[in-house]
Amino acid sequence: MSDSSRLRIVVLRVLVLSILLTLLGRLAYLQVAEGPRFQKSAADNRVREVITTAARGQILDDRGLPLVRNRTALVVSVTRSIVRSQKKHGALELARLAKVIGVPAAQIALLITPCGEKLKNGTKANKKTGCWNGSPYQPVPVKTYASDKPAEVKRVLAIEEHAEDFPGVRAQYEAVREYPGGSLAAHVLGYLGPLTPEEALKPEYKALAPDTEVGRAGVEAVYDERLRGRDGVQRLQVDKDSAVTGTLSSTPARSGDNLVLSIDSAVQRVAEKALADGINRARTQFDKGRGKNFTADKGAAIVVEASTGRVVAMASYPAYDPTAFVGGISVQAYKALTTAPAQPLISNAVQGLYAPGSTFKIVSTASAVAAGYPLSARVYPCPPQFKIGTSIKRNFEGESYGTLDFRETLIRSCDTVYYRLAVDQWSRDGATQNLKTAKEVFARQARQWGFGKQTGIDLPDERSGIITDRTSTYANWVKNKGEYCKGARTRTKGTFRQLFDQEKCTDGYRYNAGDAANFIIGQGDVLVTPLQLTMAFAAVVNGGTLYKPQLAKGFLSADGRTESVLRPVKAAQVPATQAVLDYIKSALAGVVSPPGTAQGAFQGFPLSALPIGGKTGTADVDGVAPTSWFASFAPVDNSRFVTVVMVPEGGTGGTTAAPIVRKIWDGIYGLEGAKAQLAGGVLPTALPVVRADGTIAPPGTKVPRLPRLVPATASPSSGTSALGPFSGLPWAIEPRRTRGSS
């Protein structure tokens, strides 16, 4: 044998030996080092988890009437990962399904496509075209049947009978949300939506199943965790053929708590109807300033309990029907909601920002007193106009009322009195100089009355509003100077917007006398939410307490054995003495009678039966009709409720908002032929109760006390429940103890 042959044999032997040693080493690593991990994985492969979805808690009004409840509905769902694994990405299966459920195959394909994924046309799937926000590996609801028509149900259930023709498709009854009142209190209640893959990674959602729906708006979002309860999990041991061989553990589902709101559904209906009717009426009124009818395409109405801050009604127009989101909203319906000019998904009560007009004068009056101006003396001239620099500011329709005190000023809503006060205080603070010694009395007090910051209501996405002073004016100019100067150059010369940008570009850092004059009457840069104004008026009549507005009144467990009441929360005390508050309240009581600005709206109203106080507001907005406001309280001497109505582009406060408020008072107290929704104006103080059968009874209903439930503990020796007769139950009834037992 030649030397080269021997060398080749040696090399071959080395290679074979190396391969054997590598294989043996890898085998040893897998068997020894990684053995426990693979053993655990093998064991896990023999364990299956069965999830029992917890029943979501109901949302009830203060009398126990359901605003949101659960019902069973037939739901058709598609698991995209399974469908896409079929030939031609499941095109045949989707076409077959489309014929059964009456939804085009292309639309089904969009509905199960993850949002953000690139489509064939190069665009990305989004909510407008239709897409799925949840995990691509979970079933996606593509059709929910609200009714149980026999023929329709039979056709759909055939999907389950012919599962081989519909891989990845299931049709079964599931619990879905139901809104008995339709759009009633929609902005308060909110709606549900599936978890997104990103949300599923968050700690607060890690224990949830991938297809869980969570609150997306309203109290459904704020109290989502308590409403959804806890899903049950049963861990089953299975063999290689997936046959169940035993139960390893079982955690029962715990139903979510029922949420009781302070909303009274009867008062809510009154407020919504009065608001809608008033807005429709405003659209028939002619706007002389613009030469056409008022637009009046949105509005808000709020009723709160003055002594607690609890919200009795909160209406926003236009509303939407949360039912549209059950089982997934259609592309057309979602597009209609998001593109409508009046933006029905926005709550005008807490998310809309508007100039409050003369309703803001309650704060300006209290601030003027704090600044040292006398309260009751008739020392305030009310001429028809007031000159500030080169500009002239006028009273509404140029009224002139001689010399007034603050009470008469509030009743007649004289602007020129406040203009003079504003300019005087502005001069004291250093005029246009940004001095550290400036007291900024009006702006500082406005913030102490709750403006310029969130009220803290238990709703998401509340707006803070805007309160301006020298410091904020300068900061805003620094931030937006570039845009102002660009607008001054590029906008059409001589237009209002071009002149505005030009002034802001060169002089926007100054807090001018005109800014102070606009501020004191609730215009200019002052923006508030209707809820902020409501809480400020509540503080006037309740002795100065600024409450945190609350929608949640308490919680009831599904079985009724536990309840928790949420107490009123004091947010602050307004900076005004009781004497000042009483003076303002007395003045506002004269607004609804001659010569008050709301005398026309309340002509013929039975003020002897229900004395009402209030303040009109007419906020001018450039280019459109004024925003109409009316804020009121009743009864005057012992005010229980505060009601505020706001209608943008609705005209004066006395002609649009005030008549709406009148209708709300009629409905609450049963005046002028209306049915009383709150007898004597009294709200229930206790929570509703849960009967033994699980139904809800009104507050104060006497029901048998239910036995308390305790966990059923297992006996170590027998493997059965220590309570014997209740073996196998996750919960057991606590045995009654006899007298003398430990």
- Given a cut of 70, is residue 333 above it in pLDDT? yes
Domain identity same for 145 and 161: yes
Give the list of residues 6+ apart from residue 585 with CB closer than 8 angstroms, or none.
540, 541, 613, 633, 636, 639
User: Considering the chain, what percentage of its residues have pLDDT values greater than 90?
Assistant: 56
Assess if residue 546 is contained within a domain: yes
Asked if omega into 635 is within 30° of 0 (cis), the reply is: yes
Task: Sort 19 into a burial class: Cβ within 10 Å, 0-12 / 13-18 / 19+.
Answer: exposed
pLDDT above 50: residue 76: yes
**77 and 212 inside one domain:** yes
Helix ranges (DSSP H) in 459-550: 470-490, 496-507, 513-520, 530-542
Domain presence at residue 146: yes
In a domain, 699, yes or no: no
691 is a domain residue: no
Last residue of a domain, one of 457, 488, 520: 520
Structure confidence at residue 727 (pLDDT): 30
- In tens, the pLDDT along 152-209 reads 777 787 888 888 889 889 887 778 899 999 999 999 999 998 887 778 788 888 778 7
Confidence of residue 215 (pLDDT cuts 50, 70, 90): very high
What is the C-alpha to C-alpha distance for residues 572 and 568, in angstroms, rounded to an integer?
12
The values of phi and psi at residue 202, to 5°, are -75, 145
In a domain, 555, yes or no: yes
Residue 35 has pLDDT above 80, yes or no: no
Read off φ and ψ for residue 76, nearest 5 degrees: -100, 125
Radius of gyration of the chain (CA): 34
648 lies in the same domain as 534: yes
pLDDT score recorded for residue 696: 93
Kindly state whether residues 561 and 572 are assigned to the same domain.
yes
Distance CA 394, CA 503 (A): 22
Q: What CATH number is attached to the domain comprising 109?
A: 3.90.1310.10
Q: Which domain holds residue 10?
A: 3-45
Asked if residue 402 and residue 378 are part of one domain, the reply reads yes
CATH number at residue 339: 3.40.710.10
In a shared domain, residues 154 and 293: no
- 120 and 256: one domain? yes
Cis bond leading into 595, ω under 30°?
A: yes
Q: At what angle do helices 150-161 and 91-101 cross, to 10 degrees?
A: 160
- How open is the CA angle 516-520-525, to the nearest 5 degrees? 65
Regarding predicted confidence, which is higher, 398 or 672?
Answer: 672
| Residue 143 covered by a domain | yes
Residue 590 confidence (pLDDT) above 90: yes
394 & 320 share domain: no
Mean of the per-residue pLDDT values of the chain: 87
Distances in Å between the alpha carbon of 434 and those of 423, 438, 475? 15, 8, 12
Q: SS3 string of 373-410?
A: CCCCCCCEEECCEEEECCEEEECHHHCCCEEECHHHHH
Same domain, 58 and 124: yes
Query: Is the bond into 318 cis (omega within 30 degrees of 0)?
Result: yes
Query: Does residue 693 form part of some domain?
Result: no
- Residue 68: beta bridge partners? 59
- Nearest alpha carbon to residue 177 among 223, 218, 146, 211: 146
Rounded distance between C-alpha atoms, residue 220 and residue 187, angstroms? 10
CA–CA–CA angle 317, 323, 326 (5° rounding)? 140
Residue where a domain stops, chosen among 520, 544, 569: 520
Domain holding 363: CATH number?
3.40.710
Residue range 623-634: mean pLDDT, rounded: 96
Q: Cβ(97)–Cβ(173) under 8 Å?
A: no
Select from 588, 554, 582 the least CA-distant residue to 568: 554
| Predicted local confidence at residue 89, as pLDDT | 82
365 with 469, same domain: the answer is: yes
Question: Contact, 255 vs 584, CB < 8 A?
Answer: no
- What is the C-alpha separation between 398 and 627, in angstroms, rounded? 19
* Residue 359 DSSP one-character state: G
Q: What share of the chain is helix, strand, coil (3-state, %, to 5)?
A: 35, 20, 40
3-state secondary structure of 632: strand
Residue 695 lies in a domain: no
CA 618 to chain centre: 27
724 Rama class: left (phi>0) / alpha (psi -120 to 50) / beta: left
pLDDT at residue 18 is higher than 60: yes
At residue 741 the predicted structure's pLDDT band, cuts being 50, 70 and 90, is very low
3-state secondary structure 672-700: CCCCCCCHHHCCCCCCCEECCCCCEECCC
The encoded tokens of residue 726 equal 């209740």
Identify the residue whose tokens are 């002609």: 655
Q: Looking at the structure, tell me whether residues 126 and 255 fall in a common domain.
A: yes
246 and 312, same domain (yes or no): no
User: Per the structure, how many domains does the chain have?
Assistant: 5
Which of residues 242, 261, 280 is at a domain's end?
261
Q: In which residue are the tokens 């002795």 written?
A: 543
Mean pLDDT over 240-251 rounds to 72
Torsion sign (Cα): 139, 114, 338, 335: negative
Write down the pLDDT at residue 453. 97
Q: How confident is the model at residue 730 (pLDDT cuts 50, 70, 90)?
A: very low
Give the C-alpha separation, 692 to 663, whole Å. Answer: 40
**pLDDT computed for residue 116 by the predictor:** 79
Task: Report pLDDT for 448.
Answer: 98
Would you list the DSSP string of 421-442? HHHHHHHHTTTTS--TT---HH
> Cα separation of 198 and 208, whole Å?
13
What pTM was computed for the model?
0.82
Quote the pLDDT of residue 720: 32
